[in-house]
Structure 1
Amino acid sequence: MSTVTIYTTATCPYCIAAKALLQSKGVAFDEISIEGDRAAASALVARTGRRTVPQIFVGATHVGGCDDLHALEKAGGLDLLLEQAALDV
């Protein structure tokens, strides 16, 4: 099981950009599409309080959306968070 989970829709450009960043780093992730899936959309709201995608989790830590993920990467915190999540598995 991956330590990264990302809630998405197929055509969301922010979802595509977030996944591209993770893929460029060689990070495997579990993708949960909420498109047309009311149960998944409800689970997203229950877990995050948000309805927008992407919503990204590294382990149990809610990173936020695409801009949050890129800011974390730019600040040098994404690798640290990924390492910590891998240790917690």
Structure 2
Amino acid sequence: MATIEMYIDPYCPYCAKAKRLLTAKGQTWAEIDVIADPKRRAEMRDRASGRNTVPQIFIDGQHIGGCDDLHALDAKGGLDPLLAA
């Protein structure tokens, strides 16, 4: 199973949407709350090439992007192979 990390804001609807997709695929992930620990937002920006919005999703260390990026990857059939790795 892949290792998934997701930088989140607990009140973010896009974070919830990304979580629903991953849950539907039977995945678990580590959540990094950038509201509870604001220093982690700078870490997120560094890892996500300057992107400041949540969620920012990483699968096995590879930056996937945000919620829309995750869904687009799934729509073109690229998500399942990453999750199976």
Q: Which has the higher contact order (CA 8 A, sep 6+)?
A: 2
C-alpha offsets along residues 16-51 of structure 1, whole Å, 9 cap, x if unaligned?
Answer: 000110011110100111014221111111111211
Q: Secondary structure at the match of 1:6?
A: strand
C-alpha offsets along residues 44-63 of structure 1, whole Å, 9 cap, x if unaligned?
Answer: 11111211000000101100
Query: Where does residue 56 of structure 2 map in the other structure?
Result: 55
Query: Where does residue 87 of structure 1 map in the other structure?
Result: none
TM-score of the aligned structures, taking structure 2 as reference length: 0.91
- After TM superposition, the structure 1 = structure 2 runs for residues 1-89 of structure 1, keeping only pairs within 5 Å, are 3-48=3-48, 49-84=50-85
| Structure 1 residues not aligned, in runs of 5+ | 85-89
State, as a whole percentage, how many aligned pairs show the same letter. 48
Partners of 1:65 and 1:41 lie apart in 2 by 14
Q: Secondary structure at the match of 1:5?
A: strand
Partners of 1:71 and 1:53 lie apart in 2 by 16
Alignment RMSD: 1.1
